[in-house]
Structure 1
Amino acid sequence: MAHHRSTDGRTGIRGRGVSRGLVGSLLTLVLVAALVLLWAQLGDRIDRQGDQAAGTCVEGKTTVPVVADPDIAPALATIAQEYAKTDPVVRDHCVTVEVRPGDAKVTLDGLSGTWDAASLGAYPAAWVPQSSIWAADLMTATPAAVDGKPASLVSSPVVLATAPRLAEAFEGNLEWQQLPTLQRRDAALGDVGLGSWGSIRLAMPTGAQSDATALSAQAVAAQVTRTTGTLTEQDASSSRVASSIDAMTDGAPQSPDGTPVGAARSIADADDDASAPIHAVAITEQALYQLTKSDTSARLAEVVPGGPTPVADYPIIRLAGSGVSAEQTDAVSEFFEFVNKPEQMSTLTALGFRGDAPMPAPNATVTFPVTANPMPTPETAATVTINRLVYGPDSGPRPAEAGSSTTPGSTSPAAGG
């Protein structure tokens, strides 16, 4: 076959070169890929430097004070020590959570008035009292002191602690609304076959950690007003509620130390049940469990009256104001998220608090029955109204004796960064 001669005089087929446009496109793609890789590496380096900076507390160390009910404060302090092991850093601050027990009335007065750090300790970033009766009073007195809506951490139903013989006589047929009549009538227990016992002699303690007194009064108020939902201010302000609570408090036997636990201990230690000065007292199930957990035989009985059961809800009250920094606010949220993990919550439920973790085994007195009909939290104004009826115009239980374990200034340190 003949071949055409090329124009340059050489014989052969014309060579085909690579398009300059294609070469340019490939080079551009390579350059873009290199830039993307470099940008990613730079971002990773910046992130690592940020993590390293945070890990070295570039903004310093911050203490996060938390005041809690004396029943729950030691366990929270233990959990805070576990939190410390995670080396918590919030907003570039290494945080230390310090949980201290605090008398609720003293804490309320400080938060709603002038906080005296010298006697009360550092201004808290959060407060966990025994129940929402305190949240209601604080939100009424100083709304700006509360950051958001309080949420329950754990709970404990309110029950009656009685002598076992009295619990047997009721045979499960006692309701909250019967308490005023059983208190007022001198020989009321004759109706259940205990003619020599007199009245129910229900103690109505108003000392430290006596939230159960006000919560039981809420349950009575709900039944005497036939409230099926949330107790309202109108319900709580009715004359029937006032007269019922007056019947319960007027002439009520005094607890030896002003607390429900002191009254329950008096019942347990009585030589003669019938002549004992106190026959019954409202108390949290958790406190009753702690009081009786070592008993091999029942010296007390747990009575759950019919009707909606009031509950001590241990609310987490996040505090606001100039005394609480942004990093403390965020640290409170992170800490209580940590507390709510099952492995930490078990520290609380082991003490008899109800939460999302296993409960302890029943003892001779407390069996942890299912609370089938928990009472809804009343309206804030209704709670405050009941508080005034129970505790008087100043509201709230009286503070603990000076030097007791509930003194607000005593501190249980925990958790460091």
Structure 2
Amino acid sequence: MSRGVVAVLLALVLVGGLVVVWRQLGDHIARQGDAAAGVCVEGDTTVSIIADPGLADGLGTIAKQYSSDRPIVRDHCITVAVRAGDPKVTLDGLVGGWDTKSLGAEPSAWVPQSSVWSSELTTARPDAVEGDARSLVTSPVVLATAPDLAKAAAASGLDWGQLPTLQRRDNSLSDLGLPKWGSLRLAMPTGAQSDPTALAAQAVATQVTRSDSLTAEDAALPRVASSIEALTDGAPSSPDGSASGAVKQIAEAADDSAASIHAVPITEQQLYQLTRGDNEEKVSEVLPSGPTPFADFPVVRLAGSGVSAVQTDAVSDFFDYVAKPEHLATLTALGFRGDAPLPEPTPTVTFPVTREPLPVPPAPAVLTINRLVFGRDFGPPASSAEPSSAATSPAAGG
């Protein structure tokens, strides 16, 4: 054989050997990577999430399932810890500086009941928020009323825009065929989990301004202020400052027409939880005509020195996990609306399709309504930064 042929054969053998060695080396590196990932070479990281009290238990159940799989983000094994938090306390801590001694671990994400709160945060501390907030689940705001009032409201086509007049005028429910009931007596709670009060006011403001979507200019109109003043000034007090307390009083009234509270705004999910064990309709769900306000449960991803890049990525990974229908079903089983089956209807809550959801207003409009409902001292002082809408609009339907 010629030297040239021998050289070619030797070269082929050498190349073949290099390929085999390269593949073996690659497999070895891959096995090392898998082994390292399996033991979390960077250690364990806990991701703290604060959620609305009505959502926290269900979200915590999903978090335990997620954490049990030992998810790995950036070579860290992740544990997600969900706890309930009062929204005002959480907001003040995020704006004024988080005190771990009094407030617990600094959160990497916050899921309040609605954009009532996330709008306050994005306005006061835009640098504390990572990206745009998006709804995890939703729940329409309805009126909980006595059954006879619900029938009269349905027959008359009750509209959100009518509420201020029915609240202000004496014997106004005679217009609905209830001459002995007096005025609307709509409670407007401002205590625990009172977002539906502000959300109902947004719906009223949208109707009285005849706007498709409430703007900052609409919210600042004098007729909006006077309409909300009519609702709040004429509102009877809830026993404990909450919608739940008002619902209980409506259900237990000996004489519905003489009751001190005839109606209260509440989320459908809250009403479902309060009445799911009832065998008969003691309280009714009323959905006034016009755009329906929603509690949108925005996922607010937090930023700052107390939130690491690992925790930020883990928050995204966790909520991607929650959004899968098989996991979201844990939340919809509690009466929240989302891409998973709803519970069976009850005598009170039938989960009607809501064909015209009220778009989440821009933050300046939300803040204006908040001040009208809760008072001028509500919320932290705003920064000079330009605020943005706090969450995407909730989806209609059941």
Q: Secondary structure at the match of 2:377?
A: coil
Give the match for residue 159 of structure 2.
175
- Is 2:328 aligned against 1:365? no
- Is 2:76 aligned against 1:93? yes
Give the match for residue 13 of structure 1.
none
- Is 2:226 aligned against 1:226? no
2:326 is matched with which residue: 343, 351, 355?
Answer: 343
Give the match for residue 383 of structure 2.
none
Give the match for residue 56 of structure 2.
73
- Is 2:216 aligned against 1:211? no
Task: Report which of the two structures shows the higher radius of gyration computed on alpha carbons.
Answer: 1
Give the match for residue 47 of structure 2.
64
Deviation at 1:93, TM superposition (A): 1.5
1:294 is matched with which residue: 261, 269, 277?
Answer: 277
Give the match for residue 117 of structure 1.
100
Deviation at 1:116, TM superposition (A): 1.7
- Distance in 1, matches of 2:77 and 2:298, equals 26
In terms of fraction of residues, the more helix-rich structure is 2
Give the match for residue 287 of structure 2.
304
Deviation at 1:396, TM superposition (A): 5.5
- For normalisation by structure 1, the TM-score amounts to 0.89
4+ runs deviating over 4 angstroms: none
The letter of the residue matching 2:153 is F
- Distance in 2, matches of 1:336 and 1:166, equals 41
- Distance in 2, matches of 1:268 and 1:383, equals 31
Q: Secondary structure at the match of 1:171?
A: helix
Deviation at 1:260, TM superposition (A): 1.0
- Distance in 2, matches of 1:87 and 1:233, equals 46
Q: Higher mean Cα deviation, 80-89 or 200-209?
A: 80-89
Deviation at 1:220, TM superposition (A): 0.6
Give the match for residue 306 of structure 2.
323
Give the match for residue 386 of structure 2.
none
- Is 2:148 aligned against 1:160? no
Deviation at 1:279, TM superposition (A): 0.3
Give the match for residue 259 of structure 2.
276
Give the match for residue 54 of structure 1.
37
Q: Secondary structure at the match of 1:119?
A: helix
Give the match for residue 5 of structure 1.
none
- Distance in 1, matches of 2:366 and 2:251, equals 31
Deviation at 1:334, TM superposition (A): 0.9
Calculate percent identity across the aligned residue pairs.
65
- Is 2:181 aligned against 1:197? yes
- Distance in 1, matches of 2:102 and 2:273, equals 29
Answer whether contact 2:70 2:79 (CA < 8 A) is retained: no
Give the match for residue 37 of structure 1.
20
Give the match for residue 413 of structure 1.
none
Gap regions ≥5 residues in structure 1: 1-17, 398-417
- Distance in 2, matches of 1:38 and 1:47, equals 14
Deviation at 1:61, TM superposition (A): 1.4
Q: Secondary structure at the match of 1:96?
A: strand
- Distance in 1, matches of 2:12 and 2:327, equals 53
- Distance in 1, matches of 2:9 and 2:360, equals 70
Answer whether contact 2:48 2:107 (CA < 8 A) is retained: yes
Q: Secondary structure at the match of 1:223?
A: helix
Give the match for residue 14 of structure 1.
none
Give the match for residue 388 of structure 2.
none
Higher relative contact order (CA 8 A, sep 6+): 1
Q: Secondary structure at the match of 1:71?
A: helix
- Is 2:250 aligned against 1:267? yes
Count of matched residue positions in the alignment of Structure 1 and Structure 2: 379
- Is 2:117 aligned against 1:134? yes
Gap regions ≥5 residues in structure 2: 381-398
Deviation at 1:179, TM superposition (A): 0.4
- Is 2:375 aligned against 1:392? yes
Q: Secondary structure at the match of 1:72?
A: helix
Deviation at 1:19, TM superposition (A): 4.7
Give the match for residue 389 of structure 2.
none
Q: Secondary structure at the match of 2:45?
A: strand
- Distance in 2, matches of 1:130 and 1:121, equals 20
Q: Higher mean Cα deviation, 133-142 or 25-34?
A: 25-34
- CA-based RMSD: 1.3
